[in-house]
Amino acid sequence: MQRYDVAGLGNAIVDVIAPADDAFLLTHNIAKGVMTLVDEFRADQLYGALGEAQEIAGGSAANTMAGLASLGGKGLFVGKVKQDRLGERFAESLDTLGVRYSTPMAEAGPATACCMIVVTPDGHRSMNTYLGASRELTPSDIDEAELAGASVLYLAGYSCSAPEAKAAIEKAIGIVKGAGGRVAFTLSDPFCVGRWRAEFFALLQRIDILFANEEEAKALFEVQDFDLALQEFGGWPGIAALTRSEKGCVIARGGELHVLDAVPVSQVIDTTGAGDQFAAGFLYGLTHGKDLATSGRLGALAAAEVISHYGARPETSLQRLAMETGLL
Amino acid sequence: MQRYDVAGLGNAIVDVIAPADDAFLLTHNIAKGVMTLVDEFRADQLYGALGEAQEIAGGSAANTMAGLASLGGKGLFVGKVKQDRLGERFAESLDTLGVRYSTPMAEAGPATACCMIVVTPDGHRSMNTYLGASRELTPSDIDEAELAGASVLYLAGYSCSAPEAKAAIEKAIGIVKGAGGRVAFTLSDPFCVGRWRAEFFALLQRIDILFANEEEAKALFEVQDFDLALQEFGGWPGIAALTRSEKGCVIARGGELHVLDAVPVSQVIDTTGAGDQFAAGFLYGLTHGKDLATSGRLGALAAAEVISHYGARPETSLQRLAMETGLL
């Protein structure tokens, strides 16, 4: 059986990035600076209007797999695209990185998910996400033989999933747990947390590793202060990896607690993907025998790399960076 | 018996602050921006040269007592001055604040300690400290009846003390411990820590509460990283209150650990006294039945007040501030 350090399961999305001015946003009724979910009709309309655009495979869990690969880790991605141009593009990008991707492409139904990102001259990113095929994952897409080989199953975007996709996720959890692996989960954003709190708490009982940024952790426990959220994890047996932007991160497992600094960057260019890459570094460490503190430092290093340039995936070898700083 | 929340024991120093230009520093061979210890002859010389100067009672432990009083706490100060003009000035300042001060004044010997602070137009502070009478504390100065009433003995500047003063400190520790009180100790600065490490480790076995800033904690354990220092406290049964400037603080007691944010200030004017006031807030909380997190927040609040203006003692009522923010 093929072994994987991490199997990432999440929305398979292609980012379509184009520059435009504020007039374009007004003409096309795009809300500035935020992420809006759109339907296929509107997605087509916007795609047609964008003109010359850059297409980059994205999606939170797939970005994490890209980071894992950059560290030299072995990753499997599970997520649904349609067999269309963007779907092929998505699959190619993972193949190029050496990430295994074998989820069958949909032959009919909604198009491959895409996130149209309009970058205005002031640097703001206005996002319109069409989830399309990514919501069509079903239990039959979950390959038991492959998933059983994963040391860690990493789940992103659980809350926003369709019922069939949730059943697929449940199946994946069962397979990985059954094979002795661990399950990691990332809280997606503070709004998600607020809306799905009861569901998240139920899930907490079944997962081993939780990623959350400070705002998400506070939203989960409905507290105003980071330390109050941290104390809530005191009785939880899993590993909580709590990221705090420039304040670094805190890693907690029962009584063991690490307070780690952020890795300094000369200039923060684009924070997109910081959480995804933190998870990549942390999970690489955990699956390679590193202690919690070293794993956290690997996460911080990967996050620092990705925020120092545009885009949500590493542009330099994280493995080389980690070796240079003595973490590997 | 009179009860005290905290008895502060440390150097009794009067700050003598005057503006001057760089030419003055050059003429008088004053090293810019640092603290230099000077003898009585040189102290006299500089004092004469300074001209119009502001005199403010200072010294780390006395500043902490001022903060405690501002929170409504009952403090006792133990430290030695001479019966001269600055000595009277020092005693008056504590009396005004309602801090008990009964250490007998020296009638002969070195003059009252002073710290001559030259502030150049660029805002730099060049300090010349004459320890004088403050080093003359002896065991006979320690009033058993008074110290036995203290819930906490707070020690600052232990490492720089003369042998007789050390014997006095030992006596004070014995009295407070014997009466069921706790002993708190603050690491003075990273250089001190480096020079007196073995002594500090011996002292750690006998104290209950340790204050250290990040640099001091790293110096104590000879590590380069905050988390590595933090882990060293894992097996220590006392309370470690570790301050990190704008990164907030971490409070640790065995497996209990709190990660607290700094209280935001609109503008940092002068960081002098931040550590002293943190200790004041923290010890006020501990001696008034507050939990570790609330005590840490009181410390952060007091530190934020003092760094938002010149000088090392609070200028607004810390009690009122704490009530406004719901901490009291």
Least confident of A191-205, A227-241, B114-128, B312-326: A191-205
Give the domain ranges of chain A: 4-11+58-110+133-324
Q: Supply the pLDDT for residue A303.
A: 97
**Contacts of residue B226, Cβ cutoff 8 Å, sequence gap at least 6:** A259, A260, A261, B214, B217, B218, B242, B244
Can you point out the beta strands (E) in chain B? 4-9, 13-19, 35-37, 54-58, 75-78, 100-101, 113-119, 125-130, 150-156, 182-186, 209-213, 239-243, 249-253, 256-260
* 3-state percent helix, strand, coil for chain A, nearest multiple of 5: 45, 25, 35
Tell me whether residues A258 and B227 touch, CB distance under 8 A: yes
Apex A229 CA angle, A11 and B274, nearest 5: 125
- Residue A199 is inside which H or E element, if any? helix A197-204
A46 close to B (CB below 8 A) = no
How far, in Å, CA of B10 to CA of B165, rounded? Answer: 10
Please report which confidence band the pLDDT of residue B145 belongs to, taking 50, 70 and 90 as the band edges. Answer: very high
Hey, are the CB atoms on B227 and A255 less than 8 Å from each other? no
Best mutation target among A227, A251, A263 (most B Cβ atoms within 10 Å) is: A227
Q: What is the mean pLDDT of residues B126-138?
A: 92
For residue B259, which residues of chain A lie inside 8 Å, CB to CB?
Answer: 226-227, 230, 250, 259
Task: Say whether residue B325 is in contact with chain A using an 8 A CB cutoff.
Answer: no
Q: A98, A66 in Cβ contact below 8 A?
A: no
Of B230, B254, B258, the CB nearest to A227: B258
Q: What's the pLDDT score for residue B27?
A: 86
Residue B160 has pLDDT above 70, yes or no: no
Q: Chain A within 8 Å of B167 (Cβ-Cβ)?
A: no
First-to-last alpha carbon distance for chain A, in angstroms, is 27
The per-residue pLDDT of chain B, averaged, comes to 92
CA–CA separation, B257 and A61 (whole Å): 31
Alpha helix stretches (DSSP H) within B222-317:
226-232, 274-286, 292-307
Rounded to a whole number of angstroms, the distance from the CA of A39 to the nearest CA of chain B is 42
Q: Which residue has the higher pLDDT, B191 or A221?
A: A221
Chain B residues touching A248 at Cβ < 8 A: 247
Query: Is residue B186 predicted with pLDDT exceeding 90?
Result: yes
* Chain A residues 258-287 within an 8 A CB cutoff of chain B: 258-261
pLDDT of residue A124: 83
Assess if CATH 3.40.1190.20 describes domain B4-11+60-110+132-324: yes
Residue pair B57/B95 in contact (Cβ under 8 Å)? The answer is no
- Residues of B in Cβ contact (< 8 Å) with A258: 227, 230-231
Buried b (16+ CB within 10 A) or exposed e, B254-285: eeebbbbbbbeeeeeebebbbbbbbbbbbbbb
CB contact under 8 A, A227 and B260: yes
Amino acid making up residue B157: G
User: Cβ contact (<8 Å) for A258 and B231?
Assistant: yes
Residue B209, C-beta contacts closer than 8 angstroms, at least 6 positions apart: B152, B182, B183, B184, B185, B238, B239, B241, B283, B286
With a threshold of 0.95, tell me whether the complex ipTM lies above it. Answer: no
Amino acid at B95: D
Q: Pick A227's closest partner by Cβ from B230, B247, B293.
A: B293
pLDDT, averaged per 10 consecutive residues of chain A (328 residues), comes to 94 92 89 84 90 89 97 97 96 95 96 93 87 94 96 84 87 97 89 80 93 92 94 93 96 94 92 93 98 98 94 94 96
CATH classification of A4-11+58-110+133-324, choosing from 3.40.50.1820, 1.10.3720.10, 3.40.1190.20, 3.40.50.740? 3.40.1190.20
pTM summary value: 0.83
